[in-house]
Amino acid sequence: MIQQLRRLPLPIVLVVPFMAQILVIVSLVGYLSYAGGKSSILGVLAQMQRDTADRADDLLQEILRGLQDANQRNANNLRPIVGQQIQQTNTMPQGGQLDRHLWNQVITSDDVDLVGFATATGEFTGVERNSRGKLLIRSTTDNGELCRYLVNHQGDRQAQVDCLPNVPNPDFRQQPWYRMAVGTGEPTWSIIDPPFQKITTYLSVTQPLWGDRGRPSGVLMAGLRLSHLGQRLATMQAGKPGQLLILERSGHLIAASTGEKPAVLPLSGGGRQRLTATSSENPVTAEAARVTMRLIQGQEPLQDRQATITVNEEQYAVFLRPFNDASGLDWWLVVVTPHQVYSSPLEQNRWLILGLCGGAMVLAGLTGWGLAHWVTRPLMEVHEAAQALASGQWQRRVTGDDRPDRLGELARAFNFMANCVEGAFIQLTAQNQELRRIDRLKDEFLASTSHALRSPLAGMIAIVESLLRGTGGPLTSLQKTNLELLLTSNQRLQNLVNDLLDVARLRYGDVRLDPQAIDLRSAVQVAITMLQPLADRRHLTLVMQIPDQLPPVMVDPDRFQQILLNLLDYAIQQAAGQQILITAEFLSEQDMVRVSTLDRGPEPAIGSWGQESALAQEGSVLPLIADSPSSLVLEPAQLDSIGGLSVTITKRLVELHGGTLALGDACGHGWGNHLGNHPENAPGNQATTAAPTIRERISFTIPIAWTGEPPTLQIAPSDHWTAPQPQPPTTADPDLLPSHILVVDDDPLILQGLANWLALEPGFRVSVALSGRSALAQIQQGPVPDLLLLDLRMPDLTGYEVIAQLRQTWSPQALPIVLLSERACPQEIVAGLAAGANDHLTKPVTASELIARTRAHLQVRQLQLQQQRAAAEHERKIALFLDALPAGVAVYQAGGDLLYLNSLGRQLLNLDPNLDPSLDPSLNSAAPLSVSLADRLYRAGTDQPIELAQIPVQLGATGQAAVTETIELDRGSRRIPFEMRAVPITDEAGQVTYAVVTFQDITERQKTATILANYSRSLEAEVANRTAALIESNRQLEIQILERQRAEQALQRANQELTRLAQLDGLTQVANRRGFDEHLAREWARLARSGRPLSLLLLDVDCFKAYNDCYGHPSGDDCLIQVARVLADMICRPADLVARYGGEEFAIILPETPLEGAIAIAHQVRTRIRGRQLPHERSIVAPFVTVSIGVSCLVPSSDCKPATLIAMADSALYCAKQAGRDRYCVRANHPSIGQAAV
């Protein structure tokens, strides 16, 4: 380990450790920041949802309590008015007293939209507020019709508006809410069920009104429109992301903050039916409803729940809270909040941290690299020059060749040698780059054609297959087994996805067939070729026994190929033997062809109960297969017994073709004939074996293409045709000769069209063949074509069989083959390429695509031929260059055969320079050469010979890299110091293919090395000093970074505090004038879009200057604080705002509040401030503090500005002061008040 660290380059030692420290520290800080932020955000999100659910619960409690109170008031007030008259006269009281009473109940409460009374005689009178806020009276007429009437400001009935159409004589005694109220005898909540069309859906509470004799006089009801409830939820949720839903346990939508109304389906009989919330047009609402129904199903006791949903690739948090009461309500509050709103700051923080990390890494890397380069440049100059001379890196140059000493001579010799070799390497590199570019173009072409077919499953399969091929390094047997299991599972999952799509199409009858006459034998051969890898993994042999005389079958080619693949796959999975036979026979009496798959293997052993159970289970498969498209949904146990959905889908496809499918009958034997005995019935519990047998796994019948005599196709007597070509030029250059293309297809029309297209292109010579056997005969007779266009499905030989025979003689580079087929099935394409095809085209193919791909393959072949000729020429030139090198060079094959020894090597070894080394037996292998040199090689400075196993020549031939400079060669008269270097050359698999040995006289170099060693020691001392300085500078830099981070965090906290203080009044702790202006502008714009009212209250403390003069300014400040607390305690809605308008003036913004509500709040404000009894001796109104209030209300629009609303409130405030203070005045555009009122 220490030796390896010492070999690391000095720049890496100086830079990498510090970069690694920075990376670890910044990454750890970033991760902790991200994890903490994520945890905090999720906690805030959960708390916000709980708060929203609490507010919604309070709102519902308030609304429901208001409805119950209104109904109870009606019961108390109407019992003496209505009950006695109904009991005596059996009629509804006449006159406007009942109408005015009901009208007064509606206008006094914003949460009551309907108040009504249905008598025991079937009459009904009620007052309702429609969606536009208009009050109407709904009552039955003398003839029994239910009509609506206008009402004036005193509650009196006016003109008739309309009557309920298509529902004559409605009897409210038959409505569910009436019967429930009479049946229970106490207040109860009615079913949310709209009885008739054009009647609004209400949430209503009902209560029976009992007479003196114990009989019901009628039923009182008070209701709230569900759309009104949705508006209240929207008001509460305003300005917040997400949705707020109220659902029944049955799944029906009560209300939604999005404004969506409960889904209602009109019925033909005149009524309406509610739909569940899962039918909502809002995808978020529908998905949240589905999750809610799944979570609350059967949940007892009721408790809060949380879940996460994904809609349009965006995540939402769902919070569920039960809502029920003693009267029978069973609702769920659903809060839906998007994650993105709260996680976006976290994502920004993560990118900021990544940016800081990258910047620190870049800064540290540049700084360290610059310092390292500056320190090591003199040392590396000398070191690299010495390594270049020693290692043979000819592209490098040595400086100092102008020196007059021996270093200059050595530099000039090296530069001359490097210049010679560099030219050869540059030319060879250019050729290799061109080949790689062409290969890359071919790869990109293949990738682009298959890109549209890829899916996540296909990506997983590709990754697993690449790992199995060793992309990630060597694999253990356990790893290979696990990866193969994963690959098989992914492939089965991919097939299951396709099967599920087919099940859906079959179930809804969406399968369209395109029957064509095809050859059965060719189709079966294609299926066998595609499934052969699966059979090989299970050690099975697929054998086709189909006669050539079978007539064609009339099927859809794609679907028939799917049938064959599914059945063969099923047979392979269920195989118990070693061979699967595929047979076919013609059933003449039925005009059908019967195809069977047979499992040939040994008879199951008697007593082998596991095999008996498997066969017995398989024998019961047939009744489980679906008989109709509507019954294609099977239980998991059935799917397992059938082997998945594939057999079910196959049976339906066979039936759509007019055939039948059967399982389990074995060549005249039932499956029961192959069953052994139960283990407990076997004597001695000893299993015996039986003779081999043949079991039929599955069979099906399919109609033939025609009956009677088959039609004949008239073709030319010869199936070989050559298109007319121009006379080729007479030249000896093979690159200028026309390219020979052979087209093979059994369809004469397609064959003629392809040949015509190619014949029109210059430089092409086209030949054709109508069958695979004819094509093989032409190729064997010669000449061999440059390109073969081959059809996949042919009657005599399939394209796979033709390719298999051709690849025994010609490689894909020598004879390119392009496969033609009617389908673009991935399995078919992969099987073709695996068989040896170069490319695949799908028919019908366009002329432009055919010509482009043909030229591309021909160009690749021409370039490969040119490269082969160029490589031979380069080898000759390299041999000349190596002879010119100032060192001995020897090249050996992996087996030890000597391929090359240059002239200088012969001289150094005292060999005959004119003798061919391949003819010298002593040099023909690595071992004899090592033995011949062993008695002439000594350790430097000694008389001790070097062992045979330590000679670099021997080590290089056995696959070991070796370098030695401590040897001397005895040349008789003297010993010379020698350097020998042996380098093995391996292939991609790591096997040694060649060994290159270089050796040279290093007498002069040893002298030079002594000088360089002294110089290197001085440089190392200098580097150590500068390294210590660099470490200190990095430490100072880290300290500065930490200080900068602390300063940024403090600045961020200060900015947040300033933002909060900018909109808060320091004295009263309510919003200041700036916060008031921003909130008013925001609510004005929002309500202008929705058309809802906006109310404003301006308050002024009466005689406040006199209060300050009497009690002092500190007491005055305390008075303002007390007033602000009273106002803040009265505001409970999130959208409302209390602000200090200026001095002793305050303002209250009330969005979506009508004028009546604003007046009620003004009255409460005045009453509560008077109730405080803050002493004020100088007041001219009362002995305590009072306020004057100006109230204004209008509907925002684009025609006016918020200043109009402020001016109206200010005018009303001035009017209140003029009228004597301690009161409120109103200015509003309201139909019941007019332009101005006090």
For the chain, residues classed under CATH 3.30.450.20 are 46-61+229-342, 65-225, 887-1001
Q: For residue 14, what pLDDT is reported?
A: 67
- Rounded CA-CA distance 870/862 in Å is 12
The residue with tokens 């074996």 is 689
Asked if residues 112 and 70 have their Cβ atoms less than 8 Å apart, the reply is yes
Q: Residue 742: how many CA atoms within 13 Å on its side-chain side?
A: 25
Closest of 697, 676, 671, 699 to residue 574, by C-alpha: 697
- Rounded CA-CA distance 850/787 in Å is 12
Per-residue pLDDT band for 448 (boundaries 50, 70, 90) equals: very low
Per-residue pLDDT band for 430 (boundaries 50, 70, 90) equals: confident
Mean pLDDT on 910-914:
62
pTM of the model: 0.34
Closest of 958, 999, 960, 951 to residue 983, by C-alpha: 960
Q: For residue 1118, what pLDDT is reported?
A: 93
Mean pLDDT on 784-806:
88
Q: Which of 24-28, 465-469, 662-666 is modeled with the greatest confidence?
A: 24-28
* Spatial CB neighbours of 256, under 8 Å, sequence gap ≥ 6: 230, 233, 243, 244, 245, 246, 282, 285
CATH number for the domain formed by residue range(s) 735-845: 3.40.50.2300
140-169, pLDDT tens digit by residue? 777 777 788 888 887 788 887 888 765 555
Q: For residue 1155, what pLDDT is reported?
A: 92
Which ranges in 575-624 belong to alpha helices (H)? 609-619
DSSP state of 941: T
Which ranges in 836-925 belong to alpha helices (H)? 847-883, 903-908
Q: For residue 1238, what pLDDT is reported?
A: 42
Asked if residues 1196 and 1084 have their Cβ atoms less than 8 Å apart, the reply is yes
Kindly report which listed range (538-547, 910-919, 1007-1016, 1223-1232) carries the lowest average pLDDT score: 910-919
For the chain, residues classed under CATH 3.30.70.270 are 1063-1228
Mean pLDDT on 996-1012:
79
Per-residue pLDDT band for 501 (boundaries 50, 70, 90) equals: low
Among 3.30.450.20, 1.20.1270.360, 3.10.105.10, 3.20.20.80, name the CATH number for the domain at 65-225: 3.30.450.20
Q: Residue 1211: how many CA atoms within 13 Å on its side-chain side?
A: 15
For the chain, residues classed under CATH 3.30.565.10 are 537-674+691-703
Q: For residue 209, what pLDDT is reported?
A: 83
SS3 content of the chain, % helix, strand, coil (to 5): 50, 20, 30
811-829, pLDDT tens digit by residue? 888 899 999 887 767 778 8
Mean pLDDT on 651-679:
57
Fold (CATH) for 46-61+229-342: Beta-Lactamase (3.30.450)
189-202, pLDDT tens digit by residue? 877 766 554 567 77
SS3 982: strand
Asked if residues 10 and 1023 have their Cβ atoms less than 8 Å apart, the reply is yes
* Spatial CB neighbours of 709, under 8 Å, sequence gap ≥ 6: none
Per-residue pLDDT band for 1202 (boundaries 50, 70, 90) equals: very high
Amino acid at 1147: A
Per-residue pLDDT band for 810 (boundaries 50, 70, 90) equals: confident
DSSP state of 453: T
Kindly report which listed range (283-297, 509-523, 762-776) carries the lowest average pLDDT score: 509-523
Is the peptide bond preceding residue 533 cis, with omega within 30 degrees of 0? no
Q: For residue 1169, what pLDDT is reported?
A: 92
Per-residue pLDDT band for 400 (boundaries 50, 70, 90) equals: low
Six-digit token string for 699: 């069979």
- Rounded CA-CA distance 288/205 in Å is 28
83-99, pLDDT tens digit by residue? 556 555 556 665 577 77
pLDDT at 29 over 60: yes
Asked if residues 565 and 527 have their Cβ atoms less than 8 Å apart, the reply is yes
Q: Does domain 537-674+691-703 have CATH number 3.40.640.10?
A: no
Per-residue pLDDT band for 1185 (boundaries 50, 70, 90) equals: very high
Fold (CATH) for 887-1001: Beta-Lactamase (3.30.450)
Asked if residues 342 and 49 have their Cβ atoms less than 8 Å apart, the reply is no
Q: For residue 622, what pLDDT is reported?
A: 38
Top-confidence residue, 408 or 188: 188
CA 138-160-269 angle, 5° bins: 55
Six-digit token string for 1079: 């909130």
pLDDT at 669 over 50: no
Amino acid at 816: P
Among 3.30.70.270, 3.30.420.40, 3.40.190.10, 3.30.70.100, name the CATH number for the domain at 1063-1228: 3.30.70.270
**Could you tell me the CA-to-CA distances from 615 to 582, 595, 639, 699, 700 in Å, in that order?**
20, 21, 16, 17, 20
Q: For residue 776, what pLDDT is reported?
A: 92
The residues assigned a catalytic role are 1144
Q: Which of 132-136, 404-408, 1210-1214 is modeled with the greatest confidence?
A: 1210-1214
Mean pLDDT of all residues in the chain?
75
pLDDT at 518 over 90: no
**Could you tell me the CA-to-CA distances from 915 to 712, 870, 893, 1000 in Å, in that order?**
73, 28, 20, 20
Q: For residue 1213, what pLDDT is reported?
A: 93
Asked if residues 284 and 316 have their Cβ atoms less than 8 Å apart, the reply is yes
SS3 188: strand
Closest of 296, 229, 293, 224 to residue 260, by C-alpha: 229
Question: Which H helix or E strand runs over 18?
Answer: helix 10-78
Q: For residue 978, what pLDDT is reported?
A: 76
462-493, pLDDT tens digit by residue? 577 767 767 677 888 888 877 777 777 776 66
1056-1114, pLDDT tens digit by residue? 778 777 778 888 889 999 889 999 999 999 999 989 999 999 999 999 999 998 999 99
42-89, pLDDT tens digit by residue? 777 788 888 888 888 888 888 888 888 888 888 877 776 665 565 555
Percent pLDDT > 70 in the chain is 72
700-752, pLDDT tens digit by residue? 777 876 554 444 333 333 343 333 333 344 444 555 678 899 999 887 767 87
Angle at which helices 646-656 and 557-574 cross, to 10°: 140
Asked if residues 1029 and 1037 have their Cβ atoms less than 8 Å apart, the reply is no
HEC per residue, 389-423: HHHCCCCCCCCCCCCCCHHHHHHHHHHHHHHHHHH
pLDDT at 357 over 80: no
Q: For residue 732, what pLDDT is reported?
A: 45
Top-confidence residue, 1061 or 1125: 1125
Angle at which helices 799-806 and 826-835 cross, to 10°: 20
Radius of gyration, alpha carbons of the chain? 48
The DSSP secondary structure of 661-723, one letter per residue, reads EEES-BTTB-GGGG----GGGSGGG--B---EEEEEEEEEEEEBS-SSSPP-----S-S--B-
Q: Residue 1197: what are its φ and ψ, rounded to 5°?
A: -150, 175
Amino acid at 1216: A
Top-confidence residue, 109 or 1120: 1120
- Rounded CA-CA distance 929/980 in Å is 14
Percent pLDDT > 90 in the chain is 10
The DSSP secondary structure of 511-561, one letter per residue, reads -----EEE-HHHHHHHHHHHHHHHHHHTT-EEEEE--TTPPPEEE-HHHHH
1134-1152, pLDDT tens digit by residue? 889 999 998 889 999 999 9
pLDDT at 204 over 70: yes
Q: For residue 731, what pLDDT is reported?
A: 42
Kindly report which listed range (205-214, 270-279, 862-871) carries the lowest average pLDDT score: 270-279
Gap between the terminal Cα atoms of the chain:
97
Question: Which H helix or E strand runs over 500?
Answer: helix 477-507
Q: Which of 30-39, 177-186, 794-803 is modeled with the greatest confidence?
A: 794-803
Q: For residue 623, what pLDDT is reported?
A: 37
The residue with tokens 């253990």 is 476
- Rounded CA-CA distance 634/646 in Å is 12
602-637, pLDDT tens digit by residue? 544 433 333 333 333 333 333 334 444 444 444 444
- Rounded CA-CA distance 157/103 in Å is 10
SS3 959: coil
Q: How many residues belong to the chain?
A: 1238
Q: Which of 21-30, 622-631, 946-955 is modeled with the greatest confidence?
A: 21-30
Kindly report which listed range (197-201, 427-431, 774-778, 939-943) carries the lowest average pLDDT score: 197-201
Q: Residue 900: what are its φ and ψ, rounded to 5°?
A: -155, 145
